[in-house]
Structure 1
Amino acid sequence: MAEYQIFSDGACDIGFEKAEELNIQLVPFYVSIDHENYYKEISEISLDTYYHYMTEEKGYPKTSLPSTQDYIDAFRPALEAGKDILCITMTRTLTASLESAIAAKSMLEEEFPDAQIHVINSWLATGAQALLLMEMARMQKNGKPLEDVISYVEKAKIDARINFMVGDLSYLEIGGRIGKVAALSGSLLKIKPLIILKGGEIGGGGICRSRKKGLAQIADLTEKYFRESGETPADYIATAGTTNIWDDMPDFEAILKDKIKMNYLPPFQIGATIASHTGPGTTGICFVKKYECYGF
Protein backbone atom coordinates (compact mmCIF):
# COMPACT_ATOMS: atom_id res chain seq x y z
CA MET A 1 0.00 0.00 0.00
CA ALA A 2 1.40 3.36 -1.04
CA GLU A 3 1.95 5.99 1.65
CA TYR A 4 -0.29 9.02 1.59
CA GLN A 5 -0.29 12.41 3.24
CA ILE A 6 -3.47 14.10 4.51
CA PHE A 7 -3.85 17.85 3.99
CA SER A 8 -6.48 20.45 4.84
CA ASP A 9 -6.89 24.17 4.56
CA GLY A 10 -6.76 26.07 7.84
CA ALA A 11 -10.51 26.61 8.03
CA CYS A 12 -10.74 23.29 9.88
CA ASP A 13 -9.66 24.95 13.16
CA ILE A 14 -7.90 21.78 14.29
CA GLY A 15 -4.80 23.72 15.36
CA PHE A 16 -1.20 23.15 14.33
CA GLU A 17 -0.33 21.15 17.45
CA LYS A 18 -3.15 18.65 17.00
CA ALA A 19 -2.53 18.48 13.27
CA GLU A 20 1.12 17.64 13.85
CA GLU A 21 0.15 14.96 16.36
CA LEU A 22 -2.12 13.34 13.75
CA ASN A 23 0.32 13.84 10.85
CA ILE A 24 -2.03 16.23 9.08
CA GLN A 25 -0.56 19.16 7.17
CA LEU A 26 -2.40 22.48 7.11
CA VAL A 27 -2.47 25.18 4.45
CA PRO A 28 -3.59 28.30 6.35
CA PHE A 29 -5.88 31.12 5.30
CA TYR A 30 -4.75 34.74 5.60
CA VAL A 31 -6.23 37.37 7.91
CA SER A 32 -6.04 41.17 7.75
CA ILE A 33 -7.08 43.61 10.46
CA ASP A 34 -5.96 46.70 8.58
CA HIS A 35 -7.31 45.62 5.17
CA GLU A 36 -3.83 46.04 3.68
CA ASN A 37 -1.47 43.51 5.23
CA TYR A 38 -2.41 39.83 5.38
CA TYR A 39 -0.99 37.31 7.83
CA LYS A 40 -1.23 33.53 8.04
CA GLU A 41 -3.81 32.62 10.65
CA ILE A 42 -2.35 31.43 13.99
CA SER A 43 1.28 31.30 12.84
CA GLU A 44 1.55 35.03 12.04
CA ILE A 45 -1.37 36.55 13.95
CA SER A 46 -2.77 35.13 17.18
CA LEU A 47 -6.45 34.59 17.83
CA ASP A 48 -6.13 36.80 20.93
CA THR A 49 -5.02 39.72 18.73
CA TYR A 50 -7.70 38.92 16.19
CA TYR A 51 -10.59 38.77 18.68
CA HIS A 52 -9.35 41.86 20.52
CA TYR A 53 -9.63 43.74 17.22
CA MET A 54 -13.19 42.47 16.72
CA THR A 55 -14.50 42.96 20.24
CA GLU A 56 -12.56 45.91 21.66
CA GLU A 57 -11.91 47.91 18.50
CA LYS A 58 -15.19 46.86 16.83
CA GLY A 59 -13.30 46.05 13.66
CA TYR A 60 -14.27 43.92 10.67
CA PRO A 61 -11.33 41.72 9.63
CA LYS A 62 -10.84 40.42 6.11
CA THR A 63 -9.68 36.97 5.07
CA SER A 64 -7.94 35.64 1.99
CA LEU A 65 -7.81 32.03 0.89
CA PRO A 66 -4.64 29.98 0.39
CA SER A 67 -3.14 30.56 -3.04
CA THR A 68 -2.36 27.92 -5.63
CA GLN A 69 1.31 28.46 -4.83
CA ASP A 70 0.60 27.83 -1.12
CA TYR A 71 -0.83 24.44 -2.02
CA ILE A 72 2.01 23.66 -4.41
CA ASP A 73 4.56 24.49 -1.71
CA ALA A 74 2.68 22.30 0.78
CA PHE A 75 2.14 19.32 -1.55
CA ARG A 76 5.58 19.19 -3.17
CA PRO A 77 7.63 17.75 -0.26
CA ALA A 78 5.17 14.87 0.16
CA LEU A 79 5.25 14.12 -3.56
CA GLU A 80 9.04 14.26 -3.61
CA ALA A 81 8.99 11.72 -0.78
CA GLY A 82 6.94 9.39 -2.97
CA LYS A 83 3.64 9.87 -1.13
CA ASP A 84 0.17 10.23 -2.57
CA ILE A 85 -1.97 13.16 -1.42
CA LEU A 86 -5.47 13.52 -0.02
CA CYS A 87 -6.56 17.11 0.65
CA ILE A 88 -9.93 18.30 1.93
CA THR A 89 -11.04 21.91 1.86
CA MET A 90 -13.69 24.06 3.45
CA THR A 91 -17.06 23.92 1.67
CA ARG A 92 -16.99 25.56 -1.76
CA THR A 93 -20.07 27.64 -0.92
CA LEU A 94 -18.02 29.73 1.52
CA THR A 95 -14.60 29.93 -0.15
CA ALA A 96 -12.66 29.18 -3.33
CA SER A 97 -9.95 27.32 -1.42
CA LEU A 98 -11.00 24.20 -3.34
CA GLU A 99 -10.13 25.86 -6.64
CA SER A 100 -6.66 26.82 -5.41
CA ALA A 101 -5.99 23.24 -4.37
CA ILE A 102 -7.33 21.83 -7.66
CA ALA A 103 -5.13 24.20 -9.65
CA ALA A 104 -2.11 23.06 -7.64
CA LYS A 105 -3.08 19.44 -8.26
CA SER A 106 -3.26 20.01 -12.02
CA MET A 107 0.15 21.66 -12.14
CA LEU A 108 1.86 19.08 -9.95
CA GLU A 109 0.39 16.13 -11.83
CA GLU A 110 2.47 17.16 -14.82
CA GLU A 111 5.59 17.04 -12.70
CA PHE A 112 4.64 13.89 -10.75
CA PRO A 113 2.62 11.81 -13.26
CA ASP A 114 2.75 8.64 -11.17
CA ALA A 115 1.38 10.23 -8.00
CA GLN A 116 -2.23 10.25 -6.88
CA ILE A 117 -3.42 13.70 -5.83
CA HIS A 118 -6.99 13.87 -4.55
CA VAL A 119 -8.71 17.13 -3.62
CA ILE A 120 -12.18 16.91 -2.06
CA ASN A 121 -14.75 19.53 -1.11
CA SER A 122 -15.52 18.55 2.49
CA TRP A 123 -18.90 20.37 2.46
CA LEU A 124 -17.86 21.37 5.99
CA ALA A 125 -15.88 23.97 7.92
CA THR A 126 -14.38 24.62 11.35
CA GLY A 127 -14.95 21.89 13.97
CA ALA A 128 -16.83 19.50 11.69
CA GLN A 129 -13.98 19.65 9.20
CA ALA A 130 -11.60 18.93 12.10
CA LEU A 131 -13.63 15.92 13.22
CA LEU A 132 -13.60 14.58 9.68
CA LEU A 133 -9.82 14.96 9.60
CA MET A 134 -9.47 13.15 12.92
CA GLU A 135 -11.39 10.18 11.55
CA MET A 136 -9.31 10.24 8.36
CA ALA A 137 -6.13 10.22 10.43
CA ARG A 138 -7.46 7.39 12.57
CA MET A 139 -8.15 5.36 9.43
CA GLN A 140 -4.62 6.02 8.22
CA LYS A 141 -3.15 5.00 11.59
CA ASN A 142 -5.20 1.80 11.50
CA GLY A 143 -3.80 0.88 8.10
CA LYS A 144 -6.77 1.77 5.90
CA PRO A 145 -5.82 2.38 2.25
CA LEU A 146 -6.24 5.75 0.58
CA GLU A 147 -9.25 4.52 -1.41
CA ASP A 148 -11.14 3.67 1.78
CA VAL A 149 -10.40 7.08 3.31
CA ILE A 150 -11.69 8.81 0.18
CA SER A 151 -14.87 6.70 0.24
CA TYR A 152 -15.36 7.50 3.90
CA VAL A 153 -15.04 11.25 3.31
CA GLU A 154 -17.64 11.16 0.53
CA LYS A 155 -20.11 9.35 2.80
CA ALA A 156 -19.43 11.18 6.06
CA LYS A 157 -19.72 14.66 4.59
CA ILE A 158 -23.35 13.92 3.72
CA ASP A 159 -24.30 13.08 7.31
CA ALA A 160 -22.10 15.63 9.11
CA ARG A 161 -23.69 18.77 10.53
CA ILE A 162 -22.88 22.09 12.15
CA ASN A 163 -25.66 23.73 14.16
CA PHE A 164 -24.67 27.16 15.41
CA MET A 165 -25.76 30.57 16.54
CA VAL A 166 -24.32 33.70 14.98
CA GLY A 167 -23.07 36.20 17.50
CA ASP A 168 -23.38 39.35 15.39
CA LEU A 169 -25.25 39.27 12.09
CA SER A 170 -23.55 42.47 10.88
CA TYR A 171 -20.48 40.40 9.94
CA LEU A 172 -22.54 38.21 7.61
CA GLU A 173 -24.17 41.34 6.18
CA ILE A 174 -20.86 43.10 5.49
CA GLY A 175 -19.35 39.92 4.08
CA GLY A 176 -22.27 39.52 1.69
CA ARG A 177 -23.16 36.08 3.04
CA ILE A 178 -26.54 36.74 4.62
CA GLY A 179 -28.44 35.26 1.66
CA LYS A 180 -31.36 33.08 2.66
CA VAL A 181 -30.17 32.84 6.27
CA ALA A 182 -32.16 35.87 7.28
CA ALA A 183 -34.03 38.06 4.87
CA LEU A 184 -36.09 39.06 7.86
CA SER A 185 -36.81 42.68 8.75
CA GLY A 186 -35.43 46.04 9.69
CA SER A 187 -34.62 44.66 13.15
CA LEU A 188 -32.44 42.02 11.50
CA LEU A 189 -29.22 42.86 13.28
CA LYS A 190 -30.80 42.62 16.71
CA ILE A 191 -31.69 38.94 16.48
CA LYS A 192 -29.45 35.88 16.69
CA PRO A 193 -30.04 33.53 13.76
CA LEU A 194 -29.56 29.80 14.17
CA ILE A 195 -27.79 28.30 11.18
CA ILE A 196 -27.39 24.74 9.94
CA LEU A 197 -24.51 23.78 7.66
CA LYS A 198 -25.37 20.57 5.83
CA GLY A 199 -24.57 19.27 2.38
CA GLY A 200 -22.18 22.16 1.93
CA GLU A 201 -24.96 24.72 2.19
CA ILE A 202 -25.98 27.07 4.99
CA GLY A 203 -29.64 27.39 5.88
CA GLY A 204 -31.79 28.85 8.60
CA GLY A 205 -32.56 26.88 11.73
CA GLY A 206 -34.61 29.52 13.52
CA ILE A 207 -34.05 32.76 15.40
CA CYS A 208 -33.80 33.85 19.00
CA ARG A 209 -33.23 37.05 20.93
CA SER A 210 -31.16 35.73 23.82
CA ARG A 211 -27.99 33.72 23.91
CA LYS A 212 -29.24 31.34 26.60
CA LYS A 213 -32.33 30.39 24.61
CA GLY A 214 -30.26 30.11 21.46
CA LEU A 215 -27.93 27.53 22.99
CA ALA A 216 -30.93 25.46 24.12
CA GLN A 217 -32.39 25.68 20.61
CA ILE A 218 -29.12 24.43 19.12
CA ALA A 219 -29.42 21.34 21.30
CA ASP A 220 -33.03 20.94 20.16
CA LEU A 221 -31.98 21.19 16.50
CA THR A 222 -29.38 18.51 17.06
CA GLU A 223 -31.84 16.21 18.81
CA LYS A 224 -34.31 16.80 15.96
CA TYR A 225 -31.73 15.71 13.38
CA PHE A 226 -31.27 12.33 15.03
CA ARG A 227 -34.98 11.85 15.68
CA GLU A 228 -35.96 12.59 12.09
CA SER A 229 -33.01 10.93 10.32
CA GLY A 230 -33.10 7.71 12.32
CA GLU A 231 -29.35 7.98 12.82
CA THR A 232 -27.80 6.66 16.04
CA PRO A 233 -26.08 9.37 18.12
CA ALA A 234 -23.56 6.88 19.51
CA ASP A 235 -22.21 6.44 15.96
CA TYR A 236 -20.99 10.05 15.97
CA ILE A 237 -18.19 12.11 17.44
CA ALA A 238 -19.00 15.71 18.37
CA THR A 239 -17.47 18.89 19.68
CA ALA A 240 -18.87 22.21 20.82
CA GLY A 241 -17.12 25.38 19.72
CA THR A 242 -17.15 29.11 20.33
CA THR A 243 -15.29 32.12 19.06
CA ASN A 244 -14.57 33.94 22.30
CA ILE A 245 -17.33 33.40 24.86
CA TRP A 246 -16.36 30.54 27.16
CA ASP A 247 -18.35 31.27 30.31
CA ASP A 248 -21.49 29.46 29.20
CA MET A 249 -19.77 26.55 27.46
CA PRO A 250 -20.00 24.18 30.47
CA ASP A 251 -23.77 24.72 30.61
CA PHE A 252 -24.06 24.34 26.84
CA GLU A 253 -22.11 21.09 26.92
CA ALA A 254 -24.27 19.81 29.78
CA ILE A 255 -27.45 20.48 27.80
CA LEU A 256 -26.04 18.70 24.75
CA LYS A 257 -24.82 15.68 26.68
CA ASP A 258 -28.15 15.36 28.45
CA LYS A 259 -30.15 15.43 25.22
CA ILE A 260 -27.86 13.63 22.74
CA LYS A 261 -25.59 10.73 23.72
CA MET A 262 -22.64 11.22 21.34
CA ASN A 263 -18.91 10.84 21.92
CA TYR A 264 -17.99 14.41 22.84
CA LEU A 265 -14.47 15.74 22.42
CA PRO A 266 -13.31 18.84 24.36
CA PRO A 267 -14.61 22.22 23.14
CA PHE A 268 -12.58 24.09 20.55
CA GLN A 269 -12.09 27.71 19.53
CA ILE A 270 -13.56 28.78 16.21
CA GLY A 271 -10.83 30.42 14.16
CA ALA A 272 -10.48 33.64 12.23
CA THR A 273 -11.56 32.29 8.84
CA ILE A 274 -15.07 31.50 10.04
CA ALA A 275 -15.40 34.25 12.65
CA SER A 276 -14.61 36.96 10.09
CA HIS A 277 -18.03 36.17 8.60
CA THR A 278 -20.03 35.14 11.67
CA GLY A 279 -18.65 37.59 14.23
CA PRO A 280 -17.70 37.24 17.91
CA GLY A 281 -20.04 35.24 20.10
CA THR A 282 -20.67 32.55 17.50
CA THR A 283 -21.22 29.20 19.22
CA GLY A 284 -22.34 25.78 18.04
CA ILE A 285 -22.06 22.02 17.86
CA CYS A 286 -20.32 19.97 15.16
CA PHE A 287 -20.79 16.23 14.65
CA VAL A 288 -19.42 13.63 12.22
CA LYS A 289 -20.09 9.91 11.88
CA LYS A 290 -17.32 7.48 12.84
CA TYR A 291 -15.70 5.58 10.00
CA GLU A 292 -16.51 2.09 11.37
CA CYS A 293 -20.20 2.89 11.15
CA TYR A 294 -19.96 2.91 7.35
CA GLY A 295 -18.46 -0.55 7.32
CA PHE A 296 -14.79 0.37 6.79
Structure 2
Amino acid sequence: MKFRIVTESCCDLPYSVLENEHVHVIPMVVTVDGKEYIDDSGKTFNSQWLMEEVQAGKPASTSQVNVGSYLEMFKSLIKEDSTPVIYLGFSSGLSGSFNNAMTAVNMLEDEYINVPITLVDTKQASLGEGLLVDKLVSLRNEGKTVEEAVAVIKQLSKRVQSWVTVDDLKHLERGGRVSKTAAAVGTLINIKPILIVTEEGKLESNSKTRGRKKAITKIADETRTNISVADTDKIFIAYAGDLEAAEVVKEKLSDLNVPIEMYPMGPTIACHTGFGGLAVFSIRK
Protein backbone atom coordinates (compact mmCIF):
# COMPACT_ATOMS: atom_id res chain seq x y z
CA MET A 1 0.00 0.00 0.00
CA LYS A 2 1.65 3.20 -1.20
CA PHE A 3 -0.74 5.57 0.59
CA ARG A 4 -3.66 5.78 2.98
CA ILE A 5 -6.96 7.50 2.21
CA VAL A 6 -8.86 9.86 4.52
CA THR A 7 -12.20 11.53 3.84
CA GLU A 8 -15.34 12.62 5.75
CA SER A 9 -18.64 10.86 6.14
CA CYS A 10 -20.26 13.43 3.84
CA CYS A 11 -18.81 11.53 0.85
CA ASP A 12 -21.97 9.42 1.41
CA LEU A 13 -20.33 6.08 0.64
CA PRO A 14 -21.66 3.50 3.13
CA TYR A 15 -19.69 2.29 6.12
CA SER A 16 -19.44 -1.24 4.70
CA VAL A 17 -17.68 -0.02 1.54
CA LEU A 18 -15.38 2.40 3.37
CA GLU A 19 -14.38 -0.18 5.96
CA ASN A 20 -13.81 -2.90 3.38
CA GLU A 21 -11.55 -0.59 1.37
CA HIS A 22 -9.67 0.65 4.44
CA VAL A 23 -10.71 4.28 4.00
CA HIS A 24 -10.31 6.34 7.18
CA VAL A 25 -13.42 8.42 7.78
CA ILE A 26 -13.90 11.55 9.89
CA PRO A 27 -17.57 11.67 10.96
CA MET A 28 -19.75 14.74 10.66
CA VAL A 29 -21.92 15.82 13.58
CA VAL A 30 -25.67 16.08 12.95
CA THR A 31 -28.03 18.06 15.17
CA VAL A 32 -31.68 16.96 15.09
CA ASP A 33 -34.19 18.83 17.23
CA GLY A 34 -31.38 20.09 19.47
CA LYS A 35 -29.70 16.71 20.01
CA GLU A 36 -26.35 15.77 18.47
CA TYR A 37 -25.72 12.55 16.56
CA ILE A 38 -22.62 11.16 14.85
CA ASP A 39 -22.89 10.49 11.12
CA ASP A 40 -20.85 7.29 10.95
CA SER A 41 -21.75 6.52 7.32
CA GLY A 42 -24.65 4.26 8.24
CA LYS A 43 -22.90 2.04 10.79
CA THR A 44 -25.36 3.22 13.43
CA PHE A 45 -26.77 6.46 12.00
CA ASN A 46 -29.98 5.92 10.02
CA SER A 47 -30.51 8.34 7.13
CA GLN A 48 -34.09 7.17 6.64
CA TRP A 49 -34.83 8.02 10.27
CA LEU A 50 -33.38 11.49 9.68
CA MET A 51 -35.72 12.05 6.74
CA GLU A 52 -38.69 10.96 8.84
CA GLU A 53 -37.69 13.47 11.51
CA VAL A 54 -37.32 16.22 8.91
CA GLN A 55 -40.71 15.35 7.42
CA ALA A 56 -42.18 15.63 10.90
CA GLY A 57 -40.89 19.21 11.08
CA LYS A 58 -37.88 18.60 13.32
CA PRO A 59 -35.03 21.08 12.65
CA ALA A 60 -31.87 19.36 11.42
CA SER A 61 -28.41 20.67 10.59
CA THR A 62 -24.76 19.66 10.32
CA SER A 63 -21.62 21.50 11.34
CA GLN A 64 -18.19 21.60 9.72
CA VAL A 65 -15.45 19.28 10.95
CA ASN A 66 -13.34 21.13 13.52
CA VAL A 67 -9.56 21.38 13.54
CA GLY A 68 -9.30 19.04 16.52
CA SER A 69 -10.98 16.17 14.66
CA TYR A 70 -8.54 16.51 11.77
CA LEU A 71 -5.59 16.73 14.15
CA GLU A 72 -6.66 13.57 15.92
CA MET A 73 -7.04 11.59 12.69
CA PHE A 74 -3.91 12.88 10.94
CA LYS A 75 -1.70 12.56 14.02
CA SER A 76 -2.79 8.96 14.64
CA LEU A 77 -1.82 8.03 11.08
CA ILE A 78 1.58 9.73 10.88
CA LYS A 79 2.56 8.44 14.33
CA GLU A 80 1.74 4.88 13.25
CA ASP A 81 4.25 4.80 10.36
CA SER A 82 5.55 6.85 7.45
CA THR A 83 2.94 5.74 4.88
CA PRO A 84 1.75 8.87 3.00
CA VAL A 85 -1.84 10.05 3.39
CA ILE A 86 -4.18 11.51 0.77
CA TYR A 87 -7.14 13.40 2.19
CA LEU A 88 -10.10 14.06 -0.12
CA GLY A 89 -12.15 16.88 1.36
CA PHE A 90 -15.71 18.14 1.14
CA SER A 91 -16.01 21.18 -1.14
CA SER A 92 -14.53 24.38 0.27
CA GLY A 93 -17.30 26.15 -1.64
CA LEU A 94 -19.87 24.62 0.71
CA SER A 95 -18.07 24.26 4.03
CA GLY A 96 -15.14 25.51 6.06
CA SER A 97 -14.05 21.93 6.80
CA PHE A 98 -11.27 21.90 4.19
CA ASN A 99 -9.73 25.07 5.62
CA ASN A 100 -9.76 23.40 9.04
CA ALA A 101 -7.93 20.41 7.55
CA MET A 102 -5.26 22.76 6.20
CA THR A 103 -4.92 24.39 9.61
CA ALA A 104 -4.49 20.96 11.21
CA VAL A 105 -1.69 20.02 8.79
CA ASN A 106 0.05 23.36 9.40
CA MET A 107 -0.06 22.67 13.13
CA LEU A 108 1.40 19.19 12.65
CA GLU A 109 4.22 20.62 10.52
CA ASP A 110 5.21 22.73 13.52
CA GLU A 111 5.42 19.57 15.62
CA TYR A 112 6.75 16.89 13.27
CA ILE A 113 9.65 16.88 10.80
CA ASN A 114 7.79 14.71 8.31
CA VAL A 115 4.07 15.23 7.65
CA PRO A 116 3.32 13.15 4.52
CA ILE A 117 -0.25 14.37 4.07
CA THR A 118 -1.60 15.61 0.73
CA LEU A 119 -4.85 17.58 0.89
CA VAL A 120 -7.19 17.64 -2.10
CA ASP A 121 -10.25 19.89 -2.19
CA THR A 122 -12.64 17.81 -4.29
CA LYS A 123 -14.96 20.80 -4.90
CA GLN A 124 -17.69 18.15 -4.67
CA ALA A 125 -20.40 17.04 -2.25
CA SER A 126 -22.27 13.85 -1.38
CA LEU A 127 -21.58 11.02 -3.83
CA GLY A 128 -19.78 13.47 -6.13
CA GLU A 129 -17.07 13.40 -3.47
CA GLY A 130 -17.76 9.69 -3.03
CA LEU A 131 -17.14 9.09 -6.73
CA LEU A 132 -13.64 10.53 -6.34
CA VAL A 133 -13.00 8.52 -3.16
CA ASP A 134 -14.06 5.39 -5.03
CA LYS A 135 -11.67 6.25 -7.88
CA LEU A 136 -8.82 6.93 -5.45
CA VAL A 137 -9.38 3.50 -3.89
CA SER A 138 -9.00 1.94 -7.35
CA LEU A 139 -5.81 3.90 -8.00
CA ARG A 140 -4.36 2.84 -4.65
CA ASN A 141 -5.28 -0.78 -5.30
CA GLU A 142 -3.56 -0.54 -8.71
CA GLY A 143 -0.36 0.51 -6.97
CA LYS A 144 -0.26 4.13 -8.14
CA THR A 145 2.02 6.55 -6.31
CA VAL A 146 0.71 9.55 -4.39
CA GLU A 147 1.75 11.86 -7.24
CA GLU A 148 0.11 9.71 -9.91
CA ALA A 149 -3.12 9.28 -7.95
CA VAL A 150 -3.45 12.95 -6.97
CA ALA A 151 -2.92 14.02 -10.60
CA VAL A 152 -5.77 11.79 -11.75
CA ILE A 153 -8.13 12.89 -8.96
CA LYS A 154 -7.48 16.60 -9.52
CA GLN A 155 -8.15 16.21 -13.23
CA LEU A 156 -11.34 14.20 -12.69
CA SER A 157 -12.65 16.49 -9.94
CA LYS A 158 -13.09 19.23 -12.56
CA ARG A 159 -15.23 16.89 -14.65
CA VAL A 160 -17.60 15.45 -12.05
CA GLN A 161 -21.13 16.38 -13.13
CA SER A 162 -23.76 16.65 -10.42
CA TRP A 163 -27.43 16.90 -11.35
CA VAL A 164 -29.62 17.55 -8.34
CA THR A 165 -33.29 18.19 -7.68
CA VAL A 166 -35.37 18.72 -4.54
CA ASP A 167 -39.03 18.13 -3.86
CA ASP A 168 -39.59 20.75 -1.15
CA LEU A 169 -38.54 24.36 -1.76
CA LYS A 170 -38.92 25.22 1.91
CA HIS A 171 -35.57 23.61 2.67
CA LEU A 172 -33.83 25.70 0.02
CA GLU A 173 -35.51 28.75 1.53
CA ARG A 174 -34.17 27.90 4.99
CA GLY A 175 -30.71 27.54 3.52
CA GLY A 176 -30.97 30.94 1.86
CA ARG A 177 -30.84 29.55 -1.68
CA VAL A 178 -34.28 30.86 -2.65
CA SER A 179 -36.31 33.73 -1.23
CA LYS A 180 -39.41 33.18 0.88
CA THR A 181 -41.57 34.59 -1.92
CA ALA A 182 -39.96 32.41 -4.59
CA ALA A 183 -40.42 29.33 -2.40
CA ALA A 184 -44.09 30.13 -1.78
CA VAL A 185 -44.85 30.81 -5.45
CA GLY A 186 -42.78 27.85 -6.63
CA THR A 187 -44.56 25.51 -4.24
CA LEU A 188 -47.93 26.82 -5.39
CA ILE A 189 -47.25 26.12 -9.07
CA ASN A 190 -45.26 22.93 -8.42
CA ILE A 191 -41.85 24.20 -9.56
CA LYS A 192 -38.92 21.82 -9.03
CA PRO A 193 -35.41 23.32 -9.26
CA ILE A 194 -32.51 21.65 -11.04
CA LEU A 195 -29.23 22.33 -9.24
CA ILE A 196 -25.59 21.71 -10.13
CA VAL A 197 -22.25 21.88 -8.33
CA THR A 198 -20.06 24.46 -10.07
CA GLU A 199 -16.32 24.21 -10.75
CA GLU A 200 -15.85 26.40 -7.66
CA GLY A 201 -17.64 23.74 -5.64
CA LYS A 202 -20.79 25.74 -4.99
CA LEU A 203 -24.38 24.58 -5.34
CA GLU A 204 -26.22 26.73 -7.87
CA SER A 205 -29.51 26.74 -9.75
CA ASN A 206 -29.29 25.51 -13.33
CA SER A 207 -32.92 25.42 -14.46
CA LYS A 208 -36.38 24.46 -13.29
CA THR A 209 -39.22 22.18 -14.30
CA ARG A 210 -42.86 21.89 -13.35
CA GLY A 211 -43.57 18.66 -11.50
CA ARG A 212 -41.52 15.96 -9.83
CA LYS A 213 -41.71 13.54 -12.75
CA LYS A 214 -40.22 16.06 -15.18
CA ALA A 215 -37.47 16.95 -12.70
CA ILE A 216 -36.46 13.30 -12.36
CA THR A 217 -36.43 12.91 -16.13
CA LYS A 218 -34.40 16.13 -16.48
CA ILE A 219 -31.52 15.05 -14.23
CA ALA A 220 -31.40 11.66 -15.96
CA ASP A 221 -31.43 13.25 -19.44
CA GLU A 222 -28.74 15.78 -18.54
CA THR A 223 -26.55 13.01 -17.16
CA ARG A 224 -26.99 11.01 -20.35
CA THR A 225 -26.28 13.98 -22.62
CA ASN A 226 -23.08 15.02 -20.88
CA ILE A 227 -21.58 11.79 -19.56
CA SER A 228 -18.27 10.37 -20.72
CA VAL A 229 -19.03 6.66 -20.57
CA ALA A 230 -15.37 5.83 -21.17
CA ASP A 231 -14.25 7.83 -18.12
CA THR A 232 -17.10 6.96 -15.73
CA ASP A 233 -16.30 3.84 -13.73
CA LYS A 234 -19.64 4.06 -11.92
CA ILE A 235 -22.71 6.28 -11.88
CA PHE A 236 -23.74 7.18 -8.33
CA ILE A 237 -27.27 8.13 -7.31
CA ALA A 238 -27.93 9.72 -3.91
CA TYR A 239 -31.49 9.85 -2.58
CA ALA A 240 -32.99 11.51 0.49
CA GLY A 241 -35.70 9.10 1.58
CA ASP A 242 -37.24 8.53 -1.86
CA LEU A 243 -35.73 5.24 -3.05
CA GLU A 244 -38.45 4.86 -5.68
CA ALA A 245 -37.31 8.04 -7.46
CA ALA A 246 -33.73 6.78 -7.43
CA GLU A 247 -34.89 3.53 -9.01
CA VAL A 248 -36.58 5.50 -11.80
CA VAL A 249 -33.35 7.35 -12.58
CA LYS A 250 -31.39 4.10 -12.50
CA GLU A 251 -33.78 2.54 -14.98
CA LYS A 252 -33.52 5.55 -17.31
CA LEU A 253 -29.72 5.24 -17.37
CA SER A 254 -29.43 1.44 -17.34
CA ASP A 255 -28.78 1.16 -21.09
CA LEU A 256 -25.52 3.13 -20.79
CA ASN A 257 -23.86 -0.08 -19.61
CA VAL A 258 -22.09 1.70 -16.76
CA PRO A 259 -22.43 0.22 -13.25
CA ILE A 260 -24.93 2.23 -11.19
CA GLU A 261 -24.84 2.36 -7.40
CA MET A 262 -27.51 3.99 -5.22
CA TYR A 263 -26.99 5.11 -1.63
CA PRO A 264 -28.94 7.23 0.86
CA MET A 265 -27.97 10.89 0.79
CA GLY A 266 -26.11 11.69 3.98
CA PRO A 267 -27.22 14.41 6.40
CA THR A 268 -24.70 17.02 5.23
CA ILE A 269 -26.69 17.55 2.03
CA ALA A 270 -30.03 15.93 2.95
CA CYS A 271 -30.59 18.44 5.75
CA HIS A 272 -30.62 21.13 3.04
CA THR A 273 -32.65 19.26 0.42
CA GLY A 274 -35.22 17.65 2.70
CA PHE A 275 -37.12 14.50 1.83
CA GLY A 276 -37.05 13.85 -1.91
CA GLY A 277 -33.61 15.27 -2.60
CA LEU A 278 -32.12 13.36 -5.52
CA ALA A 279 -28.72 13.63 -7.19
CA VAL A 280 -26.87 11.86 -10.01
CA PHE A 281 -23.07 11.89 -10.33
CA SER A 282 -20.79 10.85 -13.18
CA ILE A 283 -17.83 12.10 -15.23
CA ARG A 284 -18.75 14.52 -18.01
CA LYS A 285 -17.24 14.74 -21.48
For the criterion TM > 0.5, the same-fold answer is yes
Which residue is 1:167 aligned to?
167
What is the CA-CA distance between 1:67 and the residue it aligns to? 0.9
- Partners of 1:185 and 1:168 lie apart in 2 by 9
Q: Does 1:107 align with 2:107?
A: yes
Partners of 1:114 and 1:210 in 2: CA distance: 55
The aligned counterpart of 1:135 is 135
Question: 1:283 aligned to 2:283?
Answer: no
Check whether the contact 1:205–1:221 (CA below 8 A) recurs between aligned residues: no
Aligned with 1:31: secondary structure?
strand
Counterpart residue identity of residue 62, structure 2: T
Q: CA deviation at 1:251?
A: 2.5
For 1:61 and 1:287, locate their aligned partners in 2 and report how far apart those are by CA, in whole Å. 28
SS of 2:13 mapped into structure 1: coil
Give distance in 2, aligned partners of 1:63 and 1:185.
22
Q: Is the 8 A contact 1:9 1:97 kept in 2?
A: no
**1:240 aligned to 237, 240, 243, which one?**
237
Structure 2, unaligned runs of 5 or more: none
For 2:219, the equivalent position in structure 1 comes to 218
Q: 1:106 to 1:191 in 2, by over 3 A?
A: same
Quote how far apart the aligned CAs of 1:76 are.
1.5
Offset, 1:66: 1.2
Question: Which residue is equivalent to 1:93?
Answer: 93
TM-score (norm 1): 0.86
Conservation of the 8 A alpha-carbon contact between 1:235 and 1:262: no
Give the equivalent residue in structure 1 for 2:269: 274
**Residue 76 of structure 2: aligned partner:** 77
Q: Following the alignment from structure 1 to structure 2, what is the Cα–Cα distance between the partners of residues 211 and 188?
A: 12
Amino acid at match of 1:62: S
Taking a change above 3 Å as real, the CA distance of residues 159 and 183 of structure 1, as seen in their structure-2 partners, is farther
Query: 2:48 & 2:239 partners in 1: Cα distance?
Result: 13
The percentage of aligned residue pairs carrying the same residue is 22
| Separation in structure 2 between the aligned mates of residue 178 and residue 150 of structure 1, nearest angstrom | 36
- Do the aligned partners of residues 49 and 251 (structure 1) sit closer, same or farther apart at CA in structure 2, a change above 3 Å counting? closer
Partner of 1:255: 252
Question: How far is 1:225 from its partner?
Answer: 2.2
Residue-by-residue CA offset, 1:133-169 (whole Å, 9 max, x unaligned): 1110111111100011111121011101110111212
Q: Distance in 2 between matches of 1:46 and 1:185?
A: 28
1:131 is displaced (CA, Å) by 1.2
Once the two structures are overlaid, the 10-residue window that deviates more, 233-242 or 150-159, is 233-242
Deviations 1:205-246 (A, max 9, x none): 3212322111111122223324xxxxx323212112211111
Provide, for residues 117-141 of structure 1, a one-character-per-residue CA deviation record: whole Å limited to 9, x for no partner.
2212101111111111111011111
Work out the number of aligned pairs and report it: 278
The unaligned stretches of length 5 or more in structure 1 are 227-231
Tell me the distance in 2 between the aligned counterparts of 1:15 and 1:110: 35
- Asked if the contact 2:33/2:59 (under 8 Å) is kept, the reply is no
- Any conservation in 2 of the 1:243–1:281 contact (CA below 8 Å)? yes
2:169 and 2:184 map into 1 onto residues whose CA distance is: 12
RMSD, matched Cα:
2.2
SS for the counterpart of 1:172 is helix
The answer to whether the 8 Å contact 2:250/2:260 transfers is: no
Secondary structure of the equivalent of 1:118?
strand
Runs of 4+ in 1 over 6 A off after TM superposition: none
The TM-score, its normalising length taken from structure 2, stands at 0.90
